[in-house]
Amino acid sequence: MIFRSLIIAIVTLTSFSTYAQNMEVLADQIDFGYDVAQFSEGMLRVKSGDKWGFMNENGQWVIQPKFHHANDFSEGLASIKIGSKYGFIDHSGQLVIAARYSYASSFSEGIAQVGFVRGQTGYIGKDGQIAFVSNSEFKCVKDEACSAGLVKVVNSNKKYGYVDQNGSIVVRPQFERAYTFIDGLAAVSINNKVGFINVRGQFIISPKYDVIKRFDNGYTGVCVGNRWGIIENSAQSEIVQPKYTDVQSFHHGRAAVMVNDKWGYMDRNGKIVISPKFTEASPFTNNLTPVSINNKWGYMDRNGDMAIRAQYKNPNRKVNAFNNGMEIAFKGNKCGVIDQNGNFIVPPNYDCIYFSGDTPGLALVMQTQGGKSTYQLVRIKR
C-alpha cells in the first residue's frame, strides 16, 4: 500500500492515467473486495492483499490489515473474521468480543446477530453475553437488525412476528411477510395485502396495499393495483392517494411522480408543480435534482428551471446532489466532478468516483485495467 500526500505528477503502468491538479491522493491502489465500502464512524474498511483493516479519512492505517474479513463499524464495534471465526473489535483494533462465531452481523440498538458453532443463531450484547437464541417458538431471521427495541423472527409455519431484546415474544408470529420497524411502524402482510403495525402489533394502517417501497427519510411508497401513492410515516396516513404510475420520496417539498411514462414533480398538497416531461428523475437534494431529457442528464431547481443544461450521460444519484458544491457527472463512459455551474473541476477521466464519508471532498476513485478494479482515496479541493 502506497500513501501519498502530494499530487501525483508521474504516471506509472499501475497508476491512474491522469490526475486533476486539485485532487490530492491520500491512499493509492486500495481494494474493497466484492463491494465498495463507505466511511462508517470515521473508519473505512480496506483490503490489502488478502487481509482487511481500517483507514481514517486521511488515508492512514488506524487498524492494520490483519483480518480475513471485516464489516463496517456500528455503535463503536465492527465484526471481523480471524481464521474461520468472527468476533468484534473496537476503534483501536482491540478484540473486545472473542472470535468464536460462525458469522456475525453489525450491532443495532445494543445487540448483534451471531451464529454459534453448532449451527444455532441468536443475539449477543456488547459485553459478549447471549441476549437470546433461536428456540422451539421461533427462529432468528438471517441478518435482521434490532429496531424500535424489536427483532423480526419466524416460526415453524413460516409466519413472522417480533421479539424484544430478551427474546420474549411481543408480536406473535402471524404475518406472511414482515419488515424492520422504521419511524415506529413495520410493514407486514396478511392475505397478500400489506399494512402497517405499531410496536404493540396493532394495525395503524390496515392491510390494503399490494406493494410498498420504504424510503429513507420518513416516507413510504404504497401501491394498489398499478397505482402508487405516498404515506408519511410520522403522520401514519396517506398524504398522496395511489393514483400515479410511480412515485419517489419527498425532498425539499417536492416528490417525483410518474404520469403515464413521464416524470414530473408535485408538492406536499399533491399538486403537480413541475409538469411530467422527463424520461428519468431523482429526488431533490440541496434544492437541485438530476433529470433526464432525450437521454441526457442535467440539473433542475425547485421551480422547474434547468440550472445546468442536460448534457451528461449519467448523474450520481447515490449521494446528495452538489453536497459541498460538487457533484459527480459522466461524459461518455468516464466520470469527473463538476461545480454548480456545470464546469468540470475534475476532468472526466475516471471509470467511477464515489463521494465517501462526511469530510467535504473526500472521494474514492476507481479505474479498471485488465478486468481488475483498483481504487484511490482522494480529497478534491474546489
Residue 299 has a pLDDT of 93
Cβ(362)–Cβ(325) below 8 Å: no
Q: What is the mean pLDDT of residues 264-268?
A: 93
Indicate the pLDDT class of residue 373, thresholds 50, 70 and 90. confident
The model's pLDDT over 31-64, given as tens digits with 9 standing for 90+, comes to: 987 778 889 999 999 999 899 999 999 999 999 9
Closest CA to 114 of 96, 97, 126, 102: 102
d(CA 337, CA 331): 10
Indicate the pLDDT class of residue 131, thresholds 50, 70 and 90. very high
Residue 358 has a pLDDT of 77
Residue 381 has a pLDDT of 84
Joined together, the cell numbers standing for residue 364 give 474514492
d(CA 151, CA 163): 5
User: If DSSP states are collapsed to H, E and C, what string results for 80-142?
Assistant: EEECCEEEEECCCCCEEEEEEECEECCCECCEEEEECCCCCEEEEECCCCEEEECCCCCEECC
Cβ(24)–Cβ(375) below 8 Å: no
d(CA 340, CA 70): 37
d(CA 229, CA 212): 9
Q: Where are the alpha helices (DSSP H) in the chain?
A: none
Indicate the pLDDT class of residue 7, thresholds 50, 70 and 90. very low
User: pTM here?
Assistant: 0.87
Lowest mean pLDDT across 6-15, 136-145, 178-187 = 6-15
Closest CA to 250 of 181, 235, 261, 260: 235
d(CA 151, CA 133): 12
Where are the extended beta strands (E) located within 286-371?
A: 288-293, 296-301, 306-312, 327-331, 334-338, 344-350, 352-355, 362-369
d(CA 183, CA 217): 9
Residue 63 has a pLDDT of 98
Which of 119 and 12 is assigned the larger pLDDT?
119
Cβ(32)–Cβ(65) below 8 Å: no
The model's pLDDT over 191-232, given as tens digits with 9 standing for 90+, comes to: 999 999 999 999 999 999 999 999 878 899 999 999 999 999
The model's pLDDT over 336-348, given as tens digits with 9 standing for 90+, comes to: 999 989 999 999 9
d(CA 63, CA 257): 46
**Three-class SS of residue 324?**
helix
**Residue 103: count of CB within 10 angstroms of its CB:** 17
d(CA 7, CA 334): 21
Residue 149 has a pLDDT of 98
